C-alpha cells in the first residue's frame, strides 16, 4: 500500500487532477470566488449577497473534496488537516476576513523536495502578477528536483527555502501572469516572523520564455547558435534551465555586500533600486553559469542564453510603464551591451557577439556590485543618487525628471522616503528600439497569460 501511495504522490497516473473530487473542488472554489471582497471576506449583508446557507454548502464541498484527495498525498496530511480546520473556522465565523495561518505553517514543501512529488494547495490568497485580491484558490502542483540540481544546492548554492514547481491544474487566480506560490500572499491573522519556503513555477517561466523569445528572434532576424535554438525548442530543457537560474537568483538576494534589508521588503525606495537588485541577482546567476559551463555543467550555457534573451526581449516590453523595475533592468542590460558593441542593431537585424556579450555582462555585474559595496558607507539618499547616476549613464531619463537634475533640484529637507514621490512613473522611458519592438511583440506577450507547458506552442529549432 505504501508503494502505491508513493507512486501517486510522486507522479503516478492516478494523481490529484485525475480524481473526480478535483473537479468538484475547482467548481466549488470558482463558485465562492465572486462572492469574496478584496480582503477575502464575504459580506452576507450586501444587497447582492448569497444566502449564508449557500456559502456554507460550497465551503462544505471544498472541505469534502480536500478530505477525499488527502489520502493521495500522505506527506501533506498535517497541512490538509489544518486546512480543513481553517475552512471550518472561516464558516463558523460568518465568512469574515479569512485566516489560514495554521494551515500555512503546517505546509512545508521545502522539507521534502523529491522530484515529482505532488501537492494540493488551497488558500485564500492573492497571486503575484495575477489577481490582487485574496480569493480562495486551489492549485495542484508537482516539485521539480532533479538529482543534479539537488547536488548543486547541497554543495554549492545552498537555498533550503527554494521549491521549483510545475502546474498540474489551477483555479482562475492562476489563469494569469503569476508564476510564483509565495506564503506572504496568503490571508493570515498575523505575519509569521520568518517564512520557510517559496515556490516558482518553472513550467510557466519556460513556456513564456520560449514563446516570446521565438517571436523576438524572428522579428529581429537574430541568427542563433545551435544550442540556443535547442533551448527555445525544448520545453523540458527550458524548465531545467530555469530551475538552475532561479536557484542562484533566489539565494543572491541575501548574499553579497548588501547596504539594505535583503529582498528590500522593509524599505520604500525609488523603483530603479529594485530594478538594480533584480538585475544584480540575474547577472550573478549569469556569472555563476559561466563558471558552471567551464566545469562541464551543460545547463550553465543554457542559463546564460535564458538570462540574456528574457532580459533583452521580454522584460523591457512586458507590463505597463509605471515603476516597471524589471523592465528597467532589461533596458539597462541592452544599453550596456550596445554601448560595448556586444549587440548591434544594423539594417533592421540584431547581431550578438557572444564572447563580447559574456564579458560585458560580467562587467555590468561588477559595476553593480561595486555600487553596493560603496553603498555600505553612504547615507541612503547618497546611495540612491549614485545608483541613479549608474542607470542614467546608460539610459536617458525623462526630460521632466527632477532626479536627473541632481540633488539641487530635490527638497532635501524631506526624508528620503518622501523624495520617492518625486520619481516619475516612467523615469526612464523606452528607447525607440524598444518602442518598436513592444508593438511587434504586444500580442505574443498577451497570449502568454495563463500559459503552461501543455499550452506552450511547439517551437521549431
Query: If we measure between CA atoms, which residue out of 264, 386, 285, 396 comes closest to residue 332?
Result: 396
Q: Give the number of other Cβ atoms within 10 Å of residue 199's Cβ.
A: 22
- DSSP collapsed to 3 states, 265-310: CCCCCCHHHHHHHHHHHHHHHHHHHHHHHHCCCHHHHHHHHHHHHH
Sorted by sequence, the CB contacts under 8 Å of residue 332 that are 6+ apart come out as 275, 279, 364, 391, 394, 395
**Residue 256 DSSP label:** S
pLDDT at site 321: 94
Query: If we measure between CA atoms, which residue out of 276, 284, 133, 140 comes closest to residue 201?
Result: 140
Sorted by sequence, the CB contacts under 8 Å of residue 306 that are 6+ apart come out as 209, 231, 238, 241, 242, 245
Sorted by sequence, the CB contacts under 8 Å of residue 141 that are 6+ apart come out as 118, 119, 121, 165, 166, 167, 168, 181, 199, 201
Q: What is the pLDDT along the chain (461 residues), one digit of tens a residue?
A: 333 333 344 444 469 999 999 999 999 999 999 999 999 999 999 999 999 999 999 999 999 999 999 999 999 999 999 999 999 999 999 999 999 999 999 999 999 999 999 999 999 999 999 999 999 999 999 999 999 999 999 999 999 999 999 999 999 999 999 999 999 999 999 999 889 999 999 999 999 999 999 999 999 999 999 999 999 999 999 999 999 999 999 999 999 999 877 655 567 899 999 999 999 999 999 999 999 999 999 999 999 999 999 999 999 999 999 999 999 999 999 999 999 999 999 999 999 999 999 999 999 999 999 999 999 999 999 999 999 999 999 999 999 999 999 999 999 999 999 999 999 999 999 999 999 999 999 999 999 999 999 876 555 44
Rounded to the nearest 5 percent, the helix, strand and coil shares of the chain are: 55, 10, 35
DSSP string, 82-103: HHHHHHHHHHHTTS-S---HHH
pLDDT at site 261: 72
Beta strand spans in 270-394 (E): 343-346, 349-352
Backbone angles phi, psi at 141, to 5 degrees: -145, 165
Give the cell for residue 403.
Answer: 532626479
Residue the block writes with cell 465572486:
34
pLDDT at site 177: 96
Contact 283, 245 (CB under 8 A): no
Backbone angles phi, psi at 25, to 5 degrees: -60, -45
pLDDT at site 236: 97
Q: Give the number of other Cβ atoms within 10 Å of residue 212's Cβ.
A: 24
Euclidean distance between the first and the last CA atom of the chain, given in angstroms as a whole number: 44
pLDDT at site 4: 37
* Predicted TM-score (pTM) of this structure: 0.93
Q: Specify the DSSP element, H or E, that contains 181.
A: strand 180-181
- DSSP collapsed to 3 states, 396-447: CCCCCCCHHHCHHHCCCCCCHHHHHHHCCCCCCCCCHHHHHHHHHHHHHHHC
In whole angstroms, give the CA distance from residue 448 to residue 317: 13
Contact 32, 62 (CB under 8 A): yes
Angle between helices 271-294 and 354-375 (to 10 degrees): 130
Backbone angles phi, psi at 297, to 5 degrees: -85, 110
Give the cell for residue 341.
Answer: 558593441
In whole angstroms, give the CA distance from residue 322 to residue 260: 23
pLDDT at site 11: 43
Q: Give the number of other Cβ atoms within 10 Å of residue 121's Cβ.
A: 22
Contact 126, 138 (CB under 8 A): no
Contact 121, 182 (CB under 8 A): no
In whole angstroms, give the CA distance from residue 202 to residue 453: 9
Contact 9, 72 (CB under 8 A): yes
Query: If we measure between CA atoms, which residue out of 267, 263, 254, 303 comes closest to residue 282?
Result: 303
Integer CA distances (angstroms), 179 to 70, 207, 209, 261, 386, in order = 25, 11, 12, 24, 32
Please report how many Cα atoms fall inside a 13 Å half-sphere around the Cα of residue 6, on the Cβ side.
6
Give the cell for residue 184.
Answer: 506572504
380 burial level (CB within 10 Å; 0-12, 13-18, 19+)? middle
- DSSP collapsed to 3 states, 120-142: EEEEEECCCCCCCCCEEEEEEEE
In whole angstroms, give the CA distance from residue 249 to residue 262: 13
In whole angstroms, give the CA distance from residue 343 to residue 334: 8
Amino acid at each position: 500500500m505504501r508503494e502505491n501511495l508513493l507512486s501517486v504522490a510522486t507522479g503516478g497516473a492516478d494523481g490529484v487532477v485525475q480524481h473526480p473530487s478535483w473537479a468538484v473542488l475547482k467548481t466549488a472554489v470558482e463558485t465562492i470566488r465572486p462572492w469574496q471582497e478584496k480582503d477575502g471576506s464575504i459580506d452576507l449583508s450586501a444587497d447582492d449577497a448569497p444566502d449564508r446557507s449557500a456559502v456554507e454548502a460550497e465551503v462544505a464541498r471544498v472541505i469534502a473534496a480536500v478530505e477525499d484527495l488527502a489520502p493521495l498525498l500522505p506527506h501533506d496530511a498535517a497541512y490538509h488537516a489544518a486546512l480543513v480546520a481553517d475552512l471550518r473556522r472561516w464558516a463558523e465565523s460568518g465568512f469574515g476576513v479569512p485566516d489560514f495561518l495554521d494551515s500555512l505553517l503546517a505546509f512545508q514543501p521545502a522539507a521534502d523536495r523529491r522530484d515529482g512529488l505532488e501537492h494540493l494547495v488551497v488558500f485564500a490568497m492573492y497571486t503575484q502578477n495575477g489577481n490582487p485580491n485574496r480569493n480562495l484558490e486551489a492549485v495542484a502542483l508537482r516539485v521539480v528536483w532533479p538529482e543534479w540540481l539537488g547536488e548543486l544546492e547541497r554543495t554549492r548554492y545552498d537555498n533550503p527555502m527554494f521549491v521549483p514547481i510545475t502546474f498540474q491544474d489551477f483555479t482562475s487566480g492562476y489563469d494569469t501572469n503569476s508564476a510564483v506560490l509565495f506564503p506572504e500572499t496568503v490571508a493570515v491573522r498575523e505575519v509569521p516572523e520568518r517564512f520557510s519556503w517559496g515556490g516558482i513555477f518553472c513550467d510557466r517561466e519556460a513556456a513564456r520564455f520560449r514563446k516570446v523569445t521565438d517571436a523576438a528572434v524572428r522579428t529581429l532576424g537574430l541568427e542563433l547558435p545551435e544550442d540556443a535554438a535547442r533551448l527555445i525548442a525544448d520545453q523540458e530543457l527550458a524548465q531545467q534551465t530555469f530551475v538552475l537560474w532561479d536557484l542562484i537568483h533566489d539565494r543572491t538576494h541575501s548574499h553579497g555586500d548588501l547596504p539594505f534589508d535583503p529582498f528590500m521588503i522593509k524599505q520604500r525606495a525609488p523603483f530603479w533600486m529594485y530594478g538594480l537588485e533584480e538585475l544584480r541577482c540575474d547577472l550573478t546567476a549569469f556569472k555563476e553559469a559561466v563558471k558552471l559551463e567551464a566545469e562541464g555543467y551543460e545547463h550553465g550555457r543554457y542559463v546564460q542564453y535564458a538570462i540574456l534573451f528574457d532580459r533583452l526581449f521580454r522584460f523591457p516590453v512586458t507590463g505597463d510603464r509605471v515603476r516597471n523595475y524589471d523592465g528597467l533592468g532589461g533596458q539597462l542590460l541592452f544599453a550596456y551591451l550596445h554601448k560595448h558593441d556586444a549587440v548591434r542593431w544594423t539594417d533592421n537585424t540584431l547581431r550578438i557577439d557572444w564572447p563580447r556579450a559574456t564579458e560585458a555582462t560580467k562587467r555590468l555585474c561588477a559595476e553593480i556590485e561595486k555600487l553596493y559595496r560603496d553603498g555600505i558607507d553612504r547615507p541612503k539618499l547618497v546611495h540612491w543618487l549614485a545608483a541613479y547616476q549608474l542607470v542614467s549613464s546608460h539610459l536617458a531619463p525623462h526630460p521632466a525628471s527632477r532626479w536627473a537634475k541632481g540633488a539641487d533640484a530635490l527638497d532635501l529637507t524631506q526624508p528620503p522616503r518622501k523624495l520617492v514621490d518625486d520619481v516619475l512613473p516612467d523615469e526612464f522611458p523606452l528607447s525607440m528600439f524598444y518602442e518598436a519592438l513592444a508593438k511587434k511583440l504586444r500580442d505574443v506577450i498577451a497570449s502568454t497569460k495563463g500559459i503552461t507547458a501543455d499550452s506552450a506552442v511547439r517551437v521549431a529549432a
